[in-house]
Structure 1
Amino acid sequence: MKIGIIGGTDGLGKTLVYYFRDEFDVTITARDHKKGQKVADELNVNYIESNKELASSSDMLIISVPINNTPSVIREVAPFMRKDSVMIDVTSVKEEPLKTMEENLPDNVEYIPTHPVFGPRTTELDNQVIVLTAPKKGKWYKKVYDYLASKNMRIIETTAEHHDYMMSIVQVLTHFSFISTASAMEKLKVDINETEDYESPIYNLMIDMIARIVSQNPYLTYYIQTMNNNGPKIRKAFSEAADELREAIDNKDDEKFVEIAINATKNMGDIQNALGMSDKAISALSHEYSLLNESIGKEIALKHIYSGKVHIGVLEKVDSKTAVLDNGTKLRIANVEILSDEELHQWKLDNSKWKKQSISCVFSENVTPNIIVETLEKVEDVINVVLTDIYDGPQIDEGFKSLTFEVTALSKESINNVKNILTGFGGVIR
């Protein structure tokens, strides 16, 4: 199947390329043709300069451009869509794209206004939410649905109107309140780094969430606010709620404050679940820092959660944000996961060049070879030990025998540890 992605060099469009390139024939376009060709070469997909040509050659055309540009791009390419093809947009507002598709696409082209409710930093589709708002379900709809289900995604089917109302709460309200909080901190000249000396785990999580939102493309967050038809009503409700709460505090009206707090709490739904989820997040952070502190001076493997690269070394020090390895590597703790001892060993098996050496050692003739082999196999980073020869010829003193072991290990150090154990058993290396 030929998939075309208009806007495949940045953001969610580029993320979709990663997901699709191994299964489909992917072609992208971009406003900056030089950048577009460079990204296409890096991702091993096709590049074409014309949106119209891409529309005419694609079985599925995905429009992944800024929200404010989506309607104009739909109108641009609609007349050139291939017969029996499908158009999908992936913006976070659905009413306007749906209306534009209905008005401009020919009858022989299906359309599925879609909202992947995750950002470009998402590394797995598993359990991610995606919303489909198609008013009519043609032959493409089932194909798309089944594909998303095969990736274990959480699929929501609804109308464009209901989607936009829900997103006015999920995005418009939360973004507005988070950016307002960050803006208030800026106006108060708050030093965020200094507040970390006094922070609770909950404050830490909250600041990270706020930072995640405000660090997004500000034009994206602006258009999420302005292009959702429910935006004015939502922002007005937020302002009125803030004013009501402020007045209750300024007027020292404890009863009014308590009333507001209790009513708000009742409306939050399953409080116990919320407490459990936040406790899990706090516990995970605390456990991770404990593991890191316990690992100082030891070999550790840290996997970057976005690039997937594994960094291995002796952990020298840890502060509130950074882990430093003995090879000079500095990693932000928020961006890595700690591999278990088993995962580290497996990584070494898969990625290291194995060492192999035959070691001959003279023992008393009463020694039991199998016990020695079993012991050597337990040495750290030893992969395999095979007893290849038992010799008691004229070169060996009476009452003794020579055992030869073929040792396969991950490092020279492990081979040396094997030798130390052999001599510890009373053997003499030949």
Structure 2
Amino acid sequence: MKIGIIGGTDGLGKTLVYYFRDEFEVTITARDHEKGRRVADELNVDYIESNTQLAGMSDMLIVSVPINLTTSVIKEVAPFMKKGSVMIDVTSIKEEPLKAMQEYLPENVEYIPTHPVFGPRTMEVDNHVIVLTAPEKGEWYKKVYDYLASKNMRIIETTAEHHDFMMSIVQVLTHFSFISTASAMEKLKVDISETEDYESPIYNLMIDMIARITSQNPYLTYYIQSMNNNGSKVRNAFSEAVNELKDAIESEDSDKFVEIAIKATKNMGDTQNALGRSDKAISALSHEYSLLFDSVGKEMALKHIYSGKVHIGVLEKVDGKTATLDNGTELRIANIHILSDEEFYQWKLENITQKHAIISCIFSENVTPNIIVETLENVEDIVSVVLTDIYQGPQIDEGYKSLTFEVNALSKEAIDNVKNILTGFGGVLR
């Protein structure tokens, strides 16, 4: 299948290339052709300069452009879509793209307005939400649905209108409140790094979430606010709630404040579930810091969660935000995954050139070879131990036998440890 992605060099469009390129024939376009060709080379996909030409050659055309440009791009390419193909958009507003698809696409082209509810930094799609808002379910719909289900995604089927109302809460309200909080801190000239000296785990999580939202493309967050038809109603409700709460405090009306707080809490629904999830998040953060502090002076494998690169070294020190290895590598703790012993061992198997040795050793003829092999197999960084020969002959004294082992290991030190264990069993190296 040929998949075309308009806007495949940045954001979610670029992320989709990673998901599709190993299974399908992917071609991308971009406004900046030089950048487009460079990204296509990096991702090992094809590049074409023309949106309309891409529309004419694609079985599935994905529109992944800024929200404010989506309708115009749909209008541009609609007449050139291949008969029997499907158009999909991935913007977080669904009513306007749906209207454009209904108005401009030929009858022989299917359309599925979608919203992957995750950002471009998401590395895996398992358990992430994707919303499908197609008013009619044609042949392509089942194919798309089954494919998403095979990736263990949480699929929501709804109308474009209901989706946009839900997003006015999930995105418009939360983004507006988070950016307002960040803006208030800026107006108060707050040094965020200093507040972190006083932070509680909940404050830490909140600041991280606010920073995650504010660090997004501000034009994206603006268009999420301005192009959702429910935005004005939601922002007015937020402003009203802020003023009502402020008035209760400034008028010293404790009863009114408590009334507002209780009503708000009841509306939150299952607070026990919320407490459980937040406790898990706090526990995970605390456990990771504790594990790092307890591992100072030990060899560690730290994987950068975005680049995927694994950094190996003795952990030299840990401060509030950074882990430093003895080779000088400094990594932000928030951006690393600590490989478990099993993960570290597997990484070594896949990335380190193994050492090979054939070791012969003379033992009493009463020794049990299988016990020796089992012992050697448990030595750290030993990959395999095979007993290849048992010899008793003219060169070996009576009452003794020579055992030969073929050993594969991840380090020279492991080979040396094997030799030490063999001599510890009473053997004499040949």
- AA aligned opposite 2:228: N
Matched, 1:142 2:151: no
Please give the residue correspondences for 1:280-291 in structure 2 after superposition, counting only pairs within 5 Å.
280-291=280-291
Per-residue displacement from partner, 1:405-429 (whole Å, max 9, x unpaired)? 2221111010011112122223332
Compute the TM-score of the two structures, normalised by the length of structure 1. 0.97
Deviates more, 1:92-101 or 1:385-394: 385-394
Residue 13 of structure 2 is matched in structure 1 by: 13
- AA aligned opposite 2:76: E
Deviates more, 1:362-371 or 1:323-332: 362-371
Deviates more, 1:165-174 or 1:405-414: 405-414
Residue 323 of structure 1 is matched in structure 2 by: 323
Per-residue displacement from partner, 1:344-380 (whole Å, max 9, x unpaired)? 1122122221111122233344433332222111111
SS at match of 2:198: coil
| Offset of residue 394 of structure 1 | 4.6
Q: 1:395 to 1:108 in 2, by over 3 A?
A: closer
- AA aligned opposite 1:212: R
| Offset of residue 244 of structure 1 | 0.6
Aligned Cα root-mean-square deviation (Å)? 1.5
Residue 384 of structure 1 is matched in structure 2 by: 384
Per-residue displacement from partner, 1:277-334 (whole Å, max 9, x unpaired)? 0000011111111111222222222222222222222222212222222222222211
Separation in 1, partners of 2:366, 2:315: 44
Separation in 2, partners of 1:384, 1:17: 40
Residue 46 of structure 1 is matched in structure 2 by: 46
Separation in 1, partners of 2:97, 2:391: 82
| Identity across the alignment (%) | 83
- AA aligned opposite 1:342: E
Deviates more, 1:59-68 or 1:386-395: 386-395
- AA aligned opposite 2:221: T
Please give the residue correspondences for 1:239-318 in structure 2 after superposition, counting only pairs within 5 Å.
239-318=239-318
- AA aligned opposite 2:308: G
- AA aligned opposite 2:305: I
Residue 231 of structure 1 is matched in structure 2 by: 231
Residue 425 of structure 2 is matched in structure 1 by: 425
- AA aligned opposite 2:283: S
| Offset of residue 106 of structure 1 | 1.7
What 5-or-longer segments of structure 2 have no aligned partner?
Answer: none
- AA aligned opposite 2:51: N
SS at match of 2:126: coil
- AA aligned opposite 2:9: T
SS at match of 1:196: helix
Separation in 2, partners of 1:420, 1:358: 14
Residue 22 of structure 1 is matched in structure 2 by: 22
- AA aligned opposite 1:233: K
Residue 219 of structure 2 is matched in structure 1 by: 219
Separation in 1, partners of 2:258, 2:318: 42
Matched, 1:160 2:160: yes
SS at match of 1:342: helix
Residue 333 of structure 1 is matched in structure 2 by: 333
Matched, 1:71 2:71: yes
Per-residue displacement from partner, 1:105-161 (whole Å, max 9, x unpaired)? 122221111111110011111111111111122211111111111111111111111
SS at match of 2:115: strand
Separation in 1, partners of 2:61, 2:369: 67
- AA aligned opposite 1:237: A
Compute the TM-score of the two structures, normalised by the length of structure 2. 0.97
Separation in 1, partners of 2:221, 2:315: 39
| Offset of residue 393 of structure 1 | 4.2
Separation in 2, partners of 1:389, 1:231: 78
| Offset of residue 29 of structure 1 | 0.5
Residue 119 of structure 2 is matched in structure 1 by: 119
| Offset of residue 84 of structure 1 | 1.8
Separation in 1, partners of 2:324, 2:304: 14
Per-residue displacement from partner, 1:230-266 (whole Å, max 9, x unpaired)? 1111111101100111111111111011001000000
| Offset of residue 403 of structure 1 | 2.9
Residue 193 of structure 2 is matched in structure 1 by: 193
Residue 184 of structure 2 is matched in structure 1 by: 184
Separation in 1, partners of 2:274, 2:322: 29
| Offset of residue 200 of structure 1 | 0.7
Residue 36 of structure 2 is matched in structure 1 by: 36
Per-residue displacement from partner, 1:75-116 (whole Å, max 9, x unpaired)? 111111112221111110111111111121122221111111
Residue 132 of structure 2 is matched in structure 1 by: 132
| Offset of residue 179 of structure 1 | 0.3
Separation in 2, partners of 1:100, 1:370: 73
Q: 1:25 to 1:387 in 2, by over 3 A?
A: closer
Per-residue displacement from partner, 1:166-188 (whole Å, max 9, x unpaired)? 00000000000000001111111
Separation in 1, partners of 2:142, 2:368: 66
Separation in 2, partners of 1:12, 1:424: 59
SS at match of 1:190: coil
Deviates more, 1:298-307 or 1:268-277: 298-307
| Offset of residue 396 of structure 1 | 4.2
Separation in 1, partners of 2:57, 2:373: 64
Residue 95 of structure 1 is matched in structure 2 by: 95
| Offset of residue 338 of structure 1 | 1.4
Separation in 2, partners of 1:247, 1:337: 46
